Structure 1
Amino acid sequence: MYKDYPAAYQVSKGAALQVDKAFYDRVRESGAGRTLIEQFEVPIRTGRAWKVPAGHVFRVTTPIGPQVGDFNVWNANDPRERMWAARTRQLQGAHVSTYDRLWSNLPFLRPMVTITDDSLAGYGIDEHGGRLHDLLGTRCDPYVNKMLTGEDFHHHCHSNLTRAVLPHGLTEFDVHDVLNIFQCTGLNHDDMYFMKACPAKQGDYLEFFAEIDLLCALSTCPGGDLSLPMWGPDAQDPLTVCRPLGVEIYRLDEALLEGWRSPARAAYNGNHGLLIPKAEWEK
């Protein structure tokens, strides 16, 4: 067992990494202070995109039983701003839960969502080092599948997300590294990525607070609950362990949002040390 070592990115007083836990506790416990405004299911081996206004809450749920979902998120008003999985791993962790945030890419660098509730928060770390809600890996895709198996399969998460965002004017080039919701993963002794069977039960959920206006997309992974191997000598078609995922979107009472403001873009001016000469009319 390795000795514990401090994280590189440390939280200092007043820094952007500090979370107002009392506010997010109030959101989580809002009860009658929230109104369900939309609810739908994402069928097996498909994807769907939807919008969430800033200051709203949404949940991803397991309405039938265990199922992994691959999640992407963009700024609804400027899709150049999107979730940055690598920086989120560094700032929050390789697996996320309550009070963790998903951060956007440069030059925006701000929290896009904050996780307000996680019915599986008690899972912790299992005997193999597995944890839930993974940012270590990324979406399955037909390109790797073709390379490994020689076969075409059009319902990988990358393909599902691509089809889901096309009606919103986005393309395959906009699909990015994902948050694997309900997925149990880790690194083995060879420092190789592993995936375990999803421990979610019927009715489990992961809940998010929208810090900015969002476009979200979710794929119900074709691997289902990941209890069956998809590649290698023991590979099986996991169709029998595929289940839908649910999405619920809630509007919060204005009183609950008192004191909250949508986060601004990163304060850095973006000049990168370059000196910009004055125009002739400014001299």
Structure 2
Amino acid sequence: MTTRTTPDAPGPHRLDPQTGTAFELRAGQVLRVVDPMGEQVSDLTAFSRDDPREWLSSGRSIDYADTISLTAGHVLYSNRSRPMFTIVSDDVGRHDFLYTPCSPETFKIIYNHEGEHPSCFGNLAEHLGRFGIAPDAIPTTFNIFMNVSVAPDGRLRIDPPASKPGDAIELRAEMDLIVGLTACSAELSNNGSFKPIDFEIRPPREGCDLGLM
């Protein structure tokens, strides 16, 4: 298992706790994200490689799936209503597409934390910057393994991730993408501790096509 933040090969790769990376993913390739120790969130975002003004959209994806519980068989759409990913397998079935990536302001406003604190937004901004993507362009992330429930009064509750050691999700790229990925830095999202995230870029699957929902 290699440890790096800028993958230069299919993998596997490991993101150390509270770190991130960015890389290109070609149409048809499958991104496999693994929680090696359990109860660790990974924030995912993506942009069209051909035009980074097209980005992964929480609103469009939830609209077209008619659910906030996105899992195997669902499509994640861009702000231009084009498929970006299809979820081809999912061991956990519990992820979040409501919360934005944690930022330095998150820790000041929610955690009353003063001083420096690693954040998913900071990690994404750093690594996506080398692709010319500005911080203000980073949208709401698909928060892999994050366990969020909605109460009848609309309040959100963050519970420990349901992921166990070795649980994974696989997402097939439906266009050429620039992808940002993190090992989340927010205490509440990860049941109070920070752990690594593993990922791998796999070639297109032969004879496996779920179709677009």
Query: 2:69 is matched with which residue: 88, 95, 99?
Result: 95
Shift in alpha-carbon separation, 1:86–1:168, aligned structure 2, 3 A: same
- For the 8 Å contact 1:68–1:226, the answer to whether it is kept is yes
Q: Higher helix proportion, which one?
A: 1
- For the 8 Å contact 1:67–1:225, the answer to whether it is kept is no
Q: Which amino acid aligns with 2:142?
A: L
Q: Which amino acid aligns with 1:212?
A: M
Greater RCO (CA < 8 Å, at least 6 residues apart): 2
2:200 counterpart of 1:248:
yes
- For the 8 Å contact 1:89–1:136, the answer to whether it is kept is no
Looking at structure 2, the residues matched to 116 and 150 of structure 1 have their Cα atoms a distance apart, in angstroms, of: 38
Where 2:33 maps in the other structure, the secondary structure is strand
Looking at structure 2, the residues matched to 77 and 111 of structure 1 have their Cα atoms a distance apart, in angstroms, of: 14
- For the 8 Å contact 2:34–2:198, the answer to whether it is kept is yes
Where 2:123 maps in the other structure, the secondary structure is helix
> TM-score, structure 2 length as denominator?
0.86
Where 1:60 maps in the other structure, the secondary structure is strand
Looking at structure 2, the residues matched to 95 and 225 of structure 1 have their Cα atoms a distance apart, in angstroms, of: 20
- For the 8 Å contact 1:51–1:76, the answer to whether it is kept is yes
2:94 counterpart of 1:152:
no
Looking at structure 2, the residues matched to 178 and 66 of structure 1 have their Cα atoms a distance apart, in angstroms, of: 18
Q: Which of these two proteins has the greater Rg computed from alpha carbons?
A: 1
Looking at structure 1, the residues matched to 190 and 83 of structure 2 have their Cα atoms a distance apart, in angstroms, of: 33
Please list every run of 5 or more consecutive structure 2 residues that lacks an aligned counterpart in the other structure. Answer: 1-8
Q: Which residue of structure 2 lines up, in the alignment, with residue 211 of structure 1?
A: 174
2:34 counterpart of 1:58:
no
Which residues in structure 2 correspond to 1:1-283 (within 5 Å)? Answer: 37-92=10-65, 93-105=67-79, 108-121=80-93, 132-148=94-110, 149=112, 151-223=114-186, 226=189, 228=191, 238=192, 241-252=193-204, 256=207
Looking at structure 2, the residues matched to 144 and 224 of structure 1 have their Cα atoms a distance apart, in angstroms, of: 11
Looking at structure 1, the residues matched to 155 and 71 of structure 2 have their Cα atoms a distance apart, in angstroms, of: 23
Measure how far apart 1:137 and its partner are: 1.9
Where 2:147 maps in the other structure, the secondary structure is strand
Please list every run of 5 or more consecutive structure 1 residues that lacks an aligned counterpart in the other structure. Answer: 1-35, 122-131, 229-237, 263-283
- For the 8 Å contact 2:29–2:203, the answer to whether it is kept is yes
Q: How many residues align?
A: 201
Shift in alpha-carbon separation, 1:244–1:150, aligned structure 2, 3 A: closer
> TM-score, structure 1 length as denominator?
0.66
Identity %: 28
Looking at structure 2, the residues matched to 224 and 164 of structure 1 have their Cα atoms a distance apart, in angstroms, of: 22
CA RMSD of aligned residues (A): 2.2
